[in-house]
Amino acid sequence: MPLIEINFDGIVGPSHNYAGLSLGNLASTRNAGQVSQPRHAALEGVDKMRANLALGLSQGIFLPGPRPDRRWLAELGTTIEQAEPALAANAMSASAMWAANAATVSPGPDTADGRCHLTVANLRTMPHRSHEWPATLAQLRVAFGSDAFAVHDPIPPAFGDEGAANHMRLAPAYGEPGVEIFVYGISGGAFPARQSIEASKAIARLHELDPERTIFAAQSEDAIAAGAFHNDVVAVANQHVLFAHEKAFADKAALIEQCGAQVPGFEFVEVPDRDVPLSDAVSSYLFNGQLVSPPGGETTLIVPSEARENASVWKWIERHIAGNGPIRRVEVVDVRESMANGGGPACLRLRVVADPATVDPRFMVDDARLDWIADVIRRHWPEQIHNDELQSEALIRYIESARAALLEALDLAQLL
């Protein structure tokens, strides 16, 4: 079977809560302390995957990690019951649901050995995410355990790596050799730049990429200051199309020149700041949509409902679709629980170009399998979580048993 793009979505975990732990993520900070709805959030995610399947896309899943992370707390000399509230909140975070941060992926056509390479992200910038990688790595090694893949340990934590959220790929088609773009941050402002150029270069070497087809581009400080904590908040690429805000990159002209020289049929779709200010782009997550190519061939943008509710954003989308631009279709999905915590449709998925037959089938889904997952969620996920109950013994038991029920239902109890 030819290589295709598979979207692996993170199932929203039963500990989904609003603790406001992510500095620089404006939605996370703004909604700190609100009552979360884990069951509804997870079902929103399932519905998003159903919408992808309806478009004819191939769909996979990643499972929630163990929460609370008792191993991590033990390394800190404490337990979930005894930890200070702020530390307990970090151990209960469900942020692994944003699978775009799981790893950086280089498909086989780009690598010297012809295998698809994945490097799990260390996520060392934020404490609540820094302990995700062991559970994520365990899943990657099961899901991508065939000889078609090479799965790498994280980059040493001296260098921050946030995974595919700061990585883009351009190619004439998914199965053809492409150009890989690593976007790193340099910040002198109030918010940290999370992706280091050192980590990006190390991943490119580990993945055995051709230096002539590898680009390192700096994110603009304006974008970081506006709340674009990851590049995928202001830019997204698919096949030969790069879709970005005018202020996404520090040196836009150089990036466009490199892409134009190396990608046949390259098209750059820019949203001017005068039409959609950075603040609107960030709050609506226009660029954190999924830019995809369904079997019919129409480049399609999947955006959150917040994009439709933002006047400047929706006006730009309607004008582009009505014209003769590369993006021919827009689909709207409701992922409000994820959006309120700072993650849009693109945050929820990791793109892997591969032959689906080489992936462990337990990580692939169709509508029937999603029905099965939704049933587990309805029966086991908490309906609500108040932040002041994160150390409640009853809630902790509820969360741990819910995750165990899902893994057992999917025949993945080995990941418990």
**pLDDT tens for residues 16-52?**
999 877 656 555 667 677 899 999 999 999 999 999 9
Does the pLDDT of residue 188 top 70, yes or no? no
pLDDT per residue as tens digits for the range 333-370: 999 999 888 789 999 999 999 999 999 999 999 999 99
Say how far apart CA 276 and CA 283 lie, in whole Å: 11
The share of the chain scoring above pLDDT 90, in percent, equals 87
Specify the pTM. 0.95
For the segment 278-303, the average pLDDT, to the nearest whole number, is 94
**Domain assignments of the chain as residue spans, ordered by start:** 4-415
Distances (CA, A) of 25 to 143, 238, 259, 339, 341: 30, 25, 29, 11, 8
Six token digits for residue 96: 């692994």
Sheet holding 267-271: strands in order across?
A: 235-238, 241-245, 267-271
Q: How confident is the model at residue 297 (pLDDT cuts 50, 70, 90)?
A: confident
**In sequence order, what are the residues at sequence separation of 6 or more whose Cβ sits closer than 8 angstroms to the Cβ of residue 88?**
68, 80, 390, 391
Q: Are 217 and 121 in contact (CB under 8 A)?
A: no
**In sequence order, what are the residues at sequence separation of 6 or more whose Cβ sits closer than 8 angstroms to the Cβ of residue 269?**
241, 242, 243, 244, 320, 325, 326, 327
pLDDT of residue 352: 98
pLDDT per residue as tens digits for the range 200-212: 999 999 999 999 9
Q: How confident is the model at residue 195 (pLDDT cuts 50, 70, 90)?
A: confident
Q: Which CATH architecture has domain 4-415?
A: 5-stranded Propeller (3.75)
Distances (CA, A) of 200 to 116, 185, 283, 299: 17, 11, 27, 28
For the segment 71-79, the average pLDDT, to the nearest whole number, is 98
pLDDT per residue as tens digits for the range 122-166: 999 889 999 999 999 999 999 999 999 999 999 999 999 999 999
In 145-247, which ranges are continuous DSSP H helix? 197-206, 221-225
pLDDT of residue 22: 62
Average pLDDT along the chain:
94
pLDDT of residue 30: 74
Matching residue, tokens 């025949």:
411
pLDDT per residue as tens digits for the range 204-253: 999 999 999 999 999 998 888 887 778 899 999 999 999 999 999 999 99
Compute how many other C-beta atoms are within 10 angstroms of the C-beta atom of residue 272. 11
SS3 content of the chain, % helix, strand, coil (to 5): 40, 20, 40
Q: Residues in the chain, how many?
A: 416
pLDDT of residue 306: 96
Enumerate the active-site residues: 162, 230, 347
